[in-house]
Amino acid sequence: MSEVLTYIDANLGRIRDELYDFLRIPSISAKAEHDADTRRSAEWLADRLRAAGLDVQIEETPGHPVVLGEWRGAGEDAPTVLIYGHYDVQPPEPLDEWASPPFEPTERDGRIYARGSADDKGQLFMHVKALEAHLASSGSLPVNVVVLAEGEEEVGSPNLVPFVDANLDRLACDVVLISDTGMFAEGLPSLGFSLRGLAYFEIRVSGARSDLHSGEYGGAVANPGNVLARILASLHDDEGRIAIAGFYDDVLDWDAETRAQIASLPHSDDEYREELGVDALVGEEGFSTLERLWIRPTCDVNGLLCGYTGEGAKTVLPNHAMAKVSFRLVPNQTDKAIKDLLEAHVSALAPAGVSIEISELHGGRPWRASVEGAHFEAAMDALEEAFGKRPVPMGGGGSIPIVVEFEERLGAPVLLVGFSLPGCNLHAPNEWLPIDNFEKGIGALALLYEKLGARPE
C-alpha cells in the first residue's frame, strides 16, 4: 500500500468526524435565514483546504461565495486538475419524514444519514481529504489542483458562469473532476458518460373574463382545464413517443457500442418496478429502461393547477389552467429549438375561445463524454484499484448544466466520478452515503490524481 493510502487508512476516524462537522452546518442556500450558515459552511471548507496545504480564497459573488483553493507546486509541465463541487444543500423538508435529524449525521446500516452526505458535501470533502493525504504524506501533489466549490448549486448556480468567465486564467485546466453523481450499483464503480438536458415550460390557458358557474355557462364556453388536458395529451402518441413534429430531428442515434454496453449492465426491470411500487414500467417503445432514462428524451408533466382543488364539489368553470411541463433532452437537442417546436405544435392545435401562453422557466444542454482517451482510462484504473472491480460507463438521466459550460469555457473534458448509490434520497428525506464508498472513494481520488499526473511513458 502506498504512503498516501496508508495515511488515509490511518486517519479514517478523524476524517469521518470532520465530515460530520461539515454536515452539521445547515447550509441551505435557498433560504435567506440560513445565509450565515451557508457562509459558515464556505469558511469551514476553506479552513480544511488551507489545513490540507492549499492557498485558499473566499471569492465573493452577488450570492453565496465561491471557495477557491489552489496548489500549483507540480510544475508547469504537470497537468492541472479542476475539482468542482458545492457546499450548499437542499432544504430538508418534510422534516417529520427523517428517521434522524437532517443536520445530525447518523450511522445506520453502513450508511451516513444526513442532508448533504451524498449531495454534495460528502463527496466534495472526499477530494479535500485525498488532497490532504498526498500533501501530508509526501509534501506535494502529482498534479496542479484548483478546487472550485460553489454555494448556489441547489438554487441553479446563478453566479457560477459569470465567475468562471471572470477567472478563466485561474481556472485554466486540463481536466475537470466532479464527484456529485453515483455508482450504478453497490460495489460497481462507475464513470458518467452522459447527462440529459432540460427544457422546462409553464403553459397557461386563459378563457373567460372570470370564473363562471359550470351550470349557468357550461356547454357554451371553452373550459381552460379541458383545453389544457387536450394540449398535454397531444404531446405523446400511443407508442409513448413525443408527438411534436420535428422533436426527434436532432436526437443522436447512439452508436451500437454504447447501446451494447448499456445492455450489458446488471439491471432488472422487475426489481426496478418493485422498488417504484408500480405494476408496469412505461416509456418509449423500442428502447430498454436504461436507454429510456439515459439516451432518449422525455416529456413529463411536473405540475397542474386549475379551478377548485379543495375537498368536495364546487361547480366552477375555471377561467385559468396551468401546467408545468418539462422535456429531458439528449444530444444534440437544445431547449431553444424545443421551445419553438412546442409553440408551433400548440399553435397548430388552435383551440378556440382561449388564449395560450408558453414561458420557458429553465433550460440546460445535454452532455456526452468521450469514453476513450487517457483521462477516462486514468479514472477507470483508479476506480478499479480502489474498489476491486472494473468500472462501468454510466449514463445520467438528470441534468448538470455546468458540465457543458466547463467544457466549453475551459476547453477541458469533464470526468464524472461519483460515489452515491441508487436510492440515496437526493433532495428527499433520509439522504445517505455509504461509508464504504466514502472511505474507498477517498483512496480512488488520491489514485486518480496520481494517474492523471503520470508522465506519458
Map the footprint of a copy of itself across residues 218-247, applying CB under 8 A: 218-223, 225-226, 228-236
Strand order in the sheet with 80-86: 55-59, 66-71, 144-150, 80-86, 175-178, 414-416, 190-192, 392-394
Residue 214 in the binding site for a copy of itself (CB under 8 A): yes
Closest CA to 385 of 327, 425, 441, 338: 441
Rounded Cα–Cα distance for residues 287 and 241 (Å): 11
Alpha carbons within 13 angstroms on the beta-carbon side of residue 48 total 28
Map the footprint of a copy of itself across residues 282-311, applying CB under 8 A: 282-284, 289, 292-293, 296-309
Map the footprint of a copy of itself across residues 81-110, applying CB under 8 A: none
Rounded Cα–Cα distance for residues 340 and 291 (Å): 26
Which stretch in 166-174, 316-324, 331-339, 407-415 sits in contact with a copy of itself by CB under 8 A? 316-324
Nearer to a copy of itself, 148 or 235 (CB): 235
Interface pick for a copy of itself out of 314, 336, 389, 390 (rule CB under 8 A): 314
How many residues of this chain interact with a copy of itself, rule: CB under 8 A?
Answer: 86
Three cell numbers written together for 80: 492541472
The DSSP symbol for 236 reads B
Taking the complex as a whole, the smallest distance from the CB of residue 81 to a copy of itself amounts, in Å, to 27
Map the footprint of a copy of itself across residues 394-413, applying CB under 8 A: 396-399
The alpha carbon torsion through 6, 12, 15, 17 (nearest 10 deg) reads -160
Which stretch in 44-52, 253-261, 346-354, 372-380 sits in contact with a copy of itself by CB under 8 A? 346-354
Binding-site string for a copy of itself from residue 413 to residue 442, where x marks contact by CB under 8 A and - marks none: -------------xxx--------------
Residue 166 in the binding site for a copy of itself (CB under 8 A): no
Rounded Cα–Cα distance for residues 348 and 94 (Å): 42
Closest CA to 363 of 201, 250, 202, 198: 198
Taking the complex as a whole, the smallest distance from the CB of residue 236 to a copy of itself amounts, in Å, to 7
Rounded Cα–Cα distance for residues 427 and 118 (Å): 10
Please, are residues 80 and 146 in contact by the beta-carbon 8 Å criterion? yes
Taking the complex as a whole, the smallest distance from the CB of residue 297 to a copy of itself amounts, in Å, to 8
Nearer to a copy of itself, 12 or 155 (CB): 155
Taking the complex as a whole, the smallest distance from the CB of residue 408 to a copy of itself amounts, in Å, to 21
- Other CB atoms within 10 Å distance of the CB of residue 234: 14
Interface pick for a copy of itself out of 13, 253, 280, 370 (rule CB under 8 A): 280
Q: Where are the alpha helices (DSSP H) in 318-455?
A: 335-349, 374-387, 402-410, 435-453
Residue 278 in the binding site for a copy of itself (CB under 8 A): yes
Rounded Cα–Cα distance for residues 216 and 85 (Å): 58
Strands 190-192, 106-108: parallel, antiparallel or unpaired by DSSP?
unpaired
Amino acid at 301: V
Interface pick for a copy of itself out of 151, 207, 434, 453 (rule CB under 8 A): 207
Task: Please give the distance of CA 210 from its chain centroid, rounded to a whole number.
Answer: 41
H/E stretch holding 202 reads: strand 197-206
Residue 196 in the binding site for a copy of itself (CB under 8 A): yes
Give the largest Cα separation in the chain, rounded. 84
Nearer to a copy of itself, 142 or 225 (CB): 225
Taking the complex as a whole, the smallest distance from the CB of residue 6 to a copy of itself amounts, in Å, to 37
Residue 158 in the binding site for a copy of itself (CB under 8 A): no
Taking the complex as a whole, the smallest distance from the CB of residue 375 to a copy of itself amounts, in Å, to 25
Map the footprint of a copy of itself across residues 45-84, applying CB under 8 A: none
Interface pick for a copy of itself out of 110, 246, 353, 373 (rule CB under 8 A): 353
Interface pick for a copy of itself out of 264, 313, 455, 457 (rule CB under 8 A): 313
Taking the complex as a whole, the smallest distance from the CB of residue 285 to a copy of itself amounts, in Å, to 12
Rounded Cα–Cα distance for residues 251 and 296 (Å): 8
Residue 350 in the binding site for a copy of itself (CB under 8 A): no
Taking the complex as a whole, the smallest distance from the CB of residue 391 to a copy of itself amounts, in Å, to 20
Interface pick for a copy of itself out of 277, 370, 455, 456 (rule CB under 8 A): 277
Taking the complex as a whole, the smallest distance from the CB of residue 273 to a copy of itself amounts, in Å, to 9
Secondary structure (3-state) at 361 = strand
Rounded Cα–Cα distance for residues 272 and 295 (Å): 18
Nearer to a copy of itself, 1 or 280 (CB): 280
